Amino acid sequence: MTAMLSPVPHEILDAAIEFFNSREASAKIRRINCQGGKRQMEPQQLVGEWLDNRDGEGDKINVYRSGGEWVLESWSEDGCHSRDKMLVTETEQGLKLEDRGGNLFGEYFLLQDGKLSVCNAQGCMLLERA
């Protein structure tokens, strides 16, 4: 006997695709996948602190240089935390910081003159200083 799957209404699929393509989605998924708790970190140089309000939650983003590597940390108000090593490329627009593990949404960060923007195929959005 074979089970038949019910078709998913196109409204649900359209909403899922719209959410997936939104700027807010990556921040929400990052929060869902976060690992809670603070941990002791190796010595590092703080490059800057910014606020990521794309999803209305007010995540704090810290960028560090640590042992020759660039690290981007994200802290949400509910305590979720992510810490990613970044691949850095010098461009005409500034330093392009990309998650070494890849980014499902094609996002990257652009650091220029102490200003941090989050960018994707649709453009860049400047983040405010924390």
pLDDT digits 0-9 by tens, 72-116? 999 988 888 899 999 999 999 999 999 998 988 899 999 999 999
CATH architecture of 10-34+44-129: Beta Barrel (2.40)
Provide the residue ranges of all domains of the chain, joining segments of one domain with +: 10-34+44-129
pTM: 0.66
- Locate tokens 């939650």: which residue? 57
Instruction: Record the tokens describing residue 88, joined without a space.
Output: 């850095």
Residue 84 identity (one-letter amino acid): D
User: Is it the case that residue 29 has pLDDT exceeding 50?
Assistant: yes
Per-residue pLDDT at 43: 78
**Cβ neighbours of 50 (radius 10 Å):** 22
User: Is it the case that residue 20 has pLDDT exceeding 70?
Assistant: no
Name beta bridge partners: 94. Answer: 91
Instruction: State the pLDDT confidence band at 19, using cuts at 50, 70 and 90.
Output: low
User: Is it the case that residue 37 has pLDDT exceeding 70?
Assistant: no
Contact 64, 47 (CB under 8 A): yes
Averaged pLDDT score across all residues of the chain? 81
Per-residue pLDDT at 55: 73
Per-residue pLDDT at 12: 65
Which helix (H) or strand (E) is 71 found in, with range?
A: strand 69-75
